[in-house]
Structure 1
Amino acid sequence: MIQQIYPSVSHPYSYELNKDMHFAAAHSIPSADAGKCAQVHGHTYFANVTIAGDELDASGFLVNFALIKRLIHDRFDHTYLNDDNEHFHAQSADYFPTTEVVARTIYEITQNYLDQLANKPRCVQVYLRETPTSYVIYRPKKTDQQLAANEAQNKAAAPDA
């Protein structure tokens, strides 16, 4: 595989891992504004998932690379994305299987898995290339809960005034 350079995301963690994978999938975008993309067509998607954290697990991994591949590649490879009614549907543009929505979905699947791990790694970026000339990057925003936790951590670490 050719060395890929991705836009990097700033994060406060000690460890960062990147898992590259590709999968072949078909889709159609159920919108009149989608042009030719409204027709069923396929891509060989190239995905990079960036995971960060401060603690390694009992095996010395932040996350086992093979587990990330199973979560994403095994789920989407050689599928018709529109058939995945758990993540995609035609009732809302937020759930059409566009590259943007697929990237967000990869993040959600990955982070839901990571949330179950004791070392609590975070998915900080998903890079998804649909064609040689087109790609999307999805980076989650910090939630109010994460912001509150960070604020409390900063207050605890600050010296008394």
Structure 2
Amino acid sequence: MSNIRITKQFTFETGHALYGYDGKCKNVHGHSYKLDVTVIGTPISDSDNAKFGMVIDFTDLKKIVKEEIVDVFDHATVFNKNTPHVELAKELKDRDHNVLLVDYQPTSEMMVIDFAQKIKNRLPNAIKLHSLKLSETATSYAQWYASDNG
């Protein structure tokens, strides 16, 4: 049977700041992110299986991405924990803001690498992550492909 790719799109609102950056994005700002998650696999051929004909139930894929990415990053502000932004992060946390401290510069490129690892860890063995596309604006996005990452 053929391998089939399926894609589900997610949206979330996240703020961030790029410490040390030489442009406007050094300031705290936010994006309405769109994340396209594409997985690849063979549709289930067992006609007795409730998921017959599916690569993965979109509901199951949604649960994984919602728990690992959307619920964590939506309406949060993300800072690299290895920068002086930790002082700002502490102030915001003290004021009951949702702040995430990550081990990387929170660019779309680095976020999509993080997201790929989190999603891959949760997929069933027969399903592989094919690609991610993280759009921070209508015209700017980062892509991750399994084929580029051995």
Q: TM-score, normalised by structure 2?
A: 0.70
Aligned identity (percent) is: 29
Does residue 79 (structure 1) correspond to residue 76 (structure 2)? The answer is yes
- Does the CA contact (< 8 Å) of 1:27 and 1:41 recur in 2? yes
**Per-residue deviation, residues 26-46 of structure 1 (Å, max 9, x unmatched):** 00111233x110111000001
4+ residue runs of structure 1 moved beyond 4 angstroms?
A: none
- In structure 2, the residue matched to 1:131 is 137
Higher helix fraction: Structure 1 or Structure 2?
1
The answer on whether the counterparts of 2:5 and 2:130 sit within 8 Å (CA) in structure 1 is no
Provide the rounded CA distance (Å) in 2 between the counterparts of 1:84 and 1:51: 27
Question: Which structure 2 segments of 5+ residues have no match?
Answer: 80-98
What is the Cα deviation at residue 74 of structure 1? 1.4
CA contact (8 A) 1:19 1:68 kept: no
CA contact (8 A) 2:17 2:27 kept: yes
CA distance in 2, matches of 1:127, 1:96: 18
Offset at 1:55? Answer: 5.4
- The residue type equivalent to 2:29 in the other structure is H
Q: Which deviations, in whole Å up to 9, do the C-alpha atoms of 1:71-118 show, x marking residues without a partner?
A: 321121111122433xx23xxxxx20001111111111110111xx2x
How many pairs align?
120
Q: 1:66 aligns with which of 62, 78, 98?
A: 62
Q: Over the residues paired in the alignment, what is the CA RMSD in angstroms?
A: 2.1
TM-score computed with the length of structure 1 as normaliser: 0.65
1:103–1:142 distance in 2 versus 1, CA, 3 Å: closer
Structure 1: which 5+ runs fail to align? 1-12, 90-94, 144-161
The correspondence of residues 88-107 of structure 1 with structure 2, limited to 5 A, is 88-89=102-103, 95-107=104-116
